[in-house]
Structure 1
Amino acid sequence: MSTAQELMNLQRARFPALDSTLPSSYPLPRNGEPLMAKLPNSEPVAGLMARTSNPPGSLQRLWSTAENFELFPLLGEHPGDGMNALLEAWREQLAHRDVPDTDSACLVTWPSRDVRASRALLDHGFTPLSCLAVRTPARAPAAEPNGTVKMRRAGPADLDTVVELALAELEYAALVGGSVVRPDAARLKRNAVHLRLHSAGQPTSERTTSGRTGAEPVWLAERDGVPIALAECGWVDARRNHSGQRVSDGKWAYVNCVSVREQERGTGVGQQLMAQVHHEFAAAGVVGSYLYYNPANPLSSVFWPRQGYRPLWTIWEVRPATALR
């Protein structure tokens, strides 16, 4: 058995002890570049490094840098010293690569509860820019009737409204997390929203190669007929979707974007909207729901735990990639 496989086996056995919600698998890139390091006692640790380019005009550039260097560690039973040794080896490896000093990042996605690894990441200059948070599918009550706030599903005629609210969320997220407001952000969002709203007419049995199903729901909350909040959501088969590899197998719901108009924040409309969303998630029989939020976001970091979400994986980043210590 190879050293990497031994480390993977030990790591896969250790993860459930950290958090029973972690999946049994650990995703590795198909074409990653091997990386090896040794602990002070000469025990080995390993990893794979993958470079991803997000070209101009790609939707990914709205929540990511143009060039990403991502490390997939295999630390066995040594999360602290192992992560530290591997990051030192990674820094040396990148010193011999063509690494842009602007619009680039080093990334490591790691279980949120593995705090020994967190210490090593912090020491090497990483920031917890985002986390994947999960919620169990306990049946939520439908939103309480409100004389002024109504919930409804959005359709193609709501394109302008949904784009406006989605761009407002992007602009706020760019101040407190990894999102980037690119010059073509409005066009990219409009194209994505157009596809999402028109998917509402597809049968739920339709699937795509990414693991998503059709009929991706978009909800609007309205006060006196005026849209004031948005929830863009969808469905994922965790066995067929890259993001889903971070959660256990089965059908999951995901929350792509929630946006509340600034003057309506703090009125409870966001909670009412998500109560409706979670009610429908539960009715669909999903394993659970997940989303990404920024720990540094003073709104999201309070709102989402109150809705029952907790961090499962943390996405650590150094921007630019050349700032890795």
Structure 2
Amino acid sequence: MCDLLLAWLGECSGYSPFRVQRHTAHGEVTGTTVDDEGTVLTEHSARLGSVDALIPPQLPLPADQSRILAERDGRLVGLAVPAVEKIPADSLDRGFTSAVQYRLRVRVGVDHPKDAMRDLLDQWIPTVESEVRDHGDPADTELFLRWPSRDIHMTPVFLDHGLLPVTVLAVGVLKEQGHPSVPADLELRLAGAGDLDFVHRMYLAERKFSEQFPGTIARPETEGLLREHLATRLADGDLWAWIAIRDGEPVGLVAVSPPSDTRLAKPLVSLRPNTYLECCCVVPGERGAGLGKLLVRLAHHKLGMEGVRAVMLHYNLMNPLSVPFWSSLGYRPLWTHWQRRPVLKTP
């Protein structure tokens, strides 16, 4: 799976455990065992699967990391593993996240899931706030939690804790389709290393527009880092990109990661093989005439020929163009990224 997807998901670099005591909001859970956690994980996966059939069974939380626990009547009903990552200044990841990201991975059972989530957040957030007050620059920090978009019952819990829905990881299920009809004056071809300038320009144009909304952060170093990143991938064949050319000039781009079935994608979507659509952008004079949709349909056709069953992509919930565009092409929210940036609320 491509580096840009890893950055969006917040899993590019190794996260460090964020130390909290193994406790609950209602006292110690005595005798908690691996079997107790296994029961919660089984219930958690079943619950999410009932909410959205495309959510696969979830992976166990790392056994060697500190937990936050939630219990009711002496029974474990939820657990979470907190982590923190300090992202280097020369990392492309910083274009998608704060310099310091505090992340929570949650598993809740079927008994009182909202109460369990509330307990876990009530313990985690004050601990992070205290850490941020005592160390570093509080401005370039964020809380991050990824949760299935269709589990709307958790929405008031997240909002009550100051978390906002910023970005969605959307999914499109590919269906058999032929090659799209291409106008006679338009040429579509694969991009190569010699197309770096145009590919870079389209990625930047998409980013510049996205920087108007939460979820994408404008940083001066991003342009150079992105060019270096794309140059390497185009040279290595690690980017499938198609360019639209009219009158000898490139006018549009769609780019996807080569189909992958990696560990990272496993807990995200049940359909495999799958891939990630990174960029779709056309030059200003071509917008609004259907070229973007044509490029996406071309990518769908090419990916379908390779046996790909699902395509994932990110868009910002506040973007007035992305939501209707991707919905019209069959994409719908799968996971929502809930964030609070910065961690400390403004008085």
TM-score (norm 1): 0.88
Please state if 1:306 is matched with 2:328.
yes
Measured in 2, the distance between the counterparts of 1:105 and 1:324 equals 13
Worse-matched range after superposition: 296-305 or 24-33: 24-33
Gaps of 5+ in 2: 1-32
> What is the Cα-based RMSD across aligned positions, in Å?
2.3
- Structure 2 counterpart of 1:157: 194
Measured in 2, the distance between the counterparts of 1:162 and 1:261 equals 11
Measured in 1, the distance between the counterparts of 2:288 and 2:144 equals 33
Measured in 2, the distance between the counterparts of 1:256 and 1:141 equals 22
Please state if 1:84 is matched with 2:84.
no
Spell out the pairing of 1:121-136 with structure 2 (5 A cutoff). Answer: 121-136=158-173
Question: Which of 256, 277, 293 pairs up with 1:233?
Answer: 256
Contact 2:273 2:308 in 1 (8 A): yes
- Structure 2 counterpart of 1:209: none
Measured in 1, the distance between the counterparts of 2:266 and 2:41 equals 19
2:141 partner amino acid: S
Contact 1:236 1:252 in 2 (8 A): yes
Measure how far apart 1:30 and its partner are.
6.8
- Structure 2 counterpart of 1:147: 184
Measure how far apart 1:232 and its partner are.
1.6
Measure how far apart 1:102 and its partner are.
1.2
2:42 partner amino acid: N
- Structure 2 counterpart of 1:13: 46
1:5 partner amino acid: G
Aligned pair in 2 of structure 1 residues 176, 41: CA closer, same or farther (>3 Å)? farther
Please state if 1:55 is matched with 2:70.
no
1:24 partner amino acid: P
Spell out the pairing of 1:93-112 with structure 2 (5 A cutoff). Answer: 93-98=127-132, 100-112=137-149
Aligned pair in 2 of structure 1 residues 172, 191: CA closer, same or farther (>3 Å)? same
Question: Which of 215, 226, 230 pairs up with 1:193?
Answer: 230
Contact 1:159 1:197 in 2 (8 A): yes
Please state if 1:219 is matched with 2:250.
no
How high is the sequence identity, in percent, across the aligned residues? 31
Measure how far apart 1:66 and its partner are.
1.0
SS of 1:176's equivalent? coil
Measure how far apart 1:39 and its partner are.
5.6
Measured in 2, the distance between the counterparts of 1:190 and 1:244 equals 29
Worse-matched range after superposition: 277-286 or 256-265: 256-265
1:20 partner amino acid: A
2:164 partner amino acid: T
- Structure 1 counterpart of 2:27: none
- Structure 1 counterpart of 2:25: none
Contact 1:91 1:324 in 2 (8 A): no
Worse-matched range after superposition: 255-264 or 159-168: 255-264
SS of 1:237's equivalent? coil
Measure how far apart 1:34 and its partner are.
1.3
Gaps of 5+ in 1: 201-213
Count of residue correspondences: 310
Show CA shifts across 1:25-67 (max 9, x none): 2464576431123469986422111111211110111111111
Measured in 2, the distance between the counterparts of 1:7 and 1:25 equals 11
Contact 2:56 2:266 in 1 (8 A): no
- Structure 2 counterpart of 1:292: 314
Measure how far apart 1:89 and its partner are.
1.2
Contact 1:8 1:74 in 2 (8 A): yes
- Structure 2 counterpart of 1:137: 174
Show CA shifts across 1:90-138 (max 9, x none): 1222233246421111011011110011221122111111111111120
Contact 1:26 1:246 in 2 (8 A): no
Measure how far apart 1:248 and its partner are.
2.3
Aligned pair in 2 of structure 1 residues 183, 263: CA closer, same or farther (>3 Å)? same
Contact 1:169 1:259 in 2 (8 A): yes
Measured in 2, the distance between the counterparts of 1:265 and 1:300 equals 13
SS of 1:90's equivalent? helix
Measured in 1, the distance between the counterparts of 2:202 and 2:64 equals 38
Aligned pair in 2 of structure 1 residues 323, 235: CA closer, same or farther (>3 Å)? farther
Please state if 1:46 is matched with 2:79.
yes
SS of 1:194's equivalent? helix
